[in-house]
């Protein structure tokens, strides 16, 4: 079967890894599953034989759709680009479990998009480029800590479950992968407007070696009213710190 480079396809072929994924996800008969990019159906075959109440899959490669439909006739198979399809229609209802071996070129924009629908999601399990996984699960003060880390950890509790080498895929990628679990937080700190958080993060990490007071100078932060040290660098602030800054901007705009 032809591999479409434009789709970033690296098909999972390692049966041991596939079983490890199925064990980690542990689908029950109450679950609604959305698989993103089933590809040739290696993971789908294992999960499809589970007892999921509903199984939906989105595949962009039309050359794969016919074979998938024949193998898995009871799956609700959607032909399209997950970055363009209406997520609210795919996730009608709530408590969806989302899974996927994601092409590296769509992982970050897809995650950011899904964060906006966290109320409809029970959890997400994704195979990602190892570097992206480390950024998602990073801690403040590390070189991996950045805009994506803060945004992801504002929305989700994140656990890096295991690493997977290139030999587990065909064609083999040039990098290692990691399999992660993301669970939407029920204890998110109050955020007035997520646009303000994005604004703060963009300015802060555009000069991550600068003191935060200098990185955010154009936002006119009233540091004297905040319990934050303006001499810290961007990678030293926590998720809660960034939420405080975002809310301070919202408060000033109301005034």
Tens digit of pLDDT for each residue in 47-57?
Answer: 887 767 899 99
| Whether the predicted model's global pTM rises above the 0.75 cut | yes
**What three-state secondary structure class fits 2?**
coil
Percent of the chain with pLDDT over 90: 79
**204, 215 contact by CB (below 8 A):** yes
| Distances in whole angstroms, Cα of residue 75 to Cα of each of 68, 69, 83, 231 | 9, 8, 20, 54
Mean pLDDT of 159-182: 95
Domain boundary among 184, 217, 237: 184
Domain span at residue 234? 194-254
Q: What is the pLDDT of residue 254?
A: 57
**Mean pLDDT lowest for which of 38-47, 79-88, 157-166?**
38-47
Q: What is the pLDDT of residue 8?
A: 54
The residue behind tokens 């070189």 is 143
Would you say residue 175 has pLDDT above 50? yes
Domain boundary among 143, 158, 184: 184
Per the domain annotation, does 189 fall within a domain?
A: no
Higher-pLDDT residue of 9 and 206 is: 206
Mean pLDDT of 79-107: 93
Q: Are residues 110 and 54 in the same domain?
A: yes
Q: Are residues 61 and 123 in the same domain?
A: yes
| Number of CB atoms found within 10 A of residue 167's CB | 9
Mean pLDDT of 175-203: 96
CATH code: domain of residue 144: 3.40.50.150
Per the domain annotation, does 169 fall within a domain?
A: yes
Q: Are residues 171 and 113 in the same domain?
A: yes
Per the domain annotation, does 168 fall within a domain?
A: yes
Per the domain annotation, does 202 fall within a domain?
A: yes
**What three-state secondary structure class fits 58?**
strand
CATH code: domain of residue 219: 1.10.8.100
Q: How many domains does the chain have?
A: 2
């Amino acid at each position: 079967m032809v591999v479409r480079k434009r789709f970033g396809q690296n098909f999972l072929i390692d049966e041991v890894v596939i079983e490890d994924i199925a064990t980690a996800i542990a689908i029950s008969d109450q679950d609604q599953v959305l698989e993103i990019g089933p590809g040739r159906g290696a993971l789908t075959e294992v999960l499809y034989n589970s007892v999921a109440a509903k199984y939906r899959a989105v595949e962009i490669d039309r050359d794969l759709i016919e074979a998938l439909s024949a193998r898995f006739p009871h799956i609700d198979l959607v032909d399209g680009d997950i970055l363009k399809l209406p997520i609210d229609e795919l996730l009608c209802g709530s408590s969806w479990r989302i899974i996927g071996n994601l092409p590296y070129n769509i992982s970050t924009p897809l995650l950011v998009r899904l964060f906006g629908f966290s109320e409809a999601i029970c959890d997400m399990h994704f195979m990602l480029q190892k570097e992206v996984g480390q950024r998602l699960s990073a801690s403040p003060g590390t070189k991996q800590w950045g805009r994506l880390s803060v945004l992801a950890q504002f929305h989700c509790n994140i656990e890096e479950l295991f690493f997977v080498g290139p030999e587990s895929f065909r064609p083999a990628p040039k990098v290692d992968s990691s399999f992660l679990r993301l669970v939407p937080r029920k204890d998110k700190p109050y955020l007035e407007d997520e646009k303000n958080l994005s604004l703060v993060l963009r300015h802060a990490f555009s000069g991550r070696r600068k003191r935060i007071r200098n990185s955010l100078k154009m936002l006119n932060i009233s540091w004297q009213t905040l319990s934050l040290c303006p001499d810290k660098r961007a990678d030293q602030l926590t998720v809660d710190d960034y939420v405080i800054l975002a809310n301070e901007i919202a408060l000033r705009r109301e005034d």
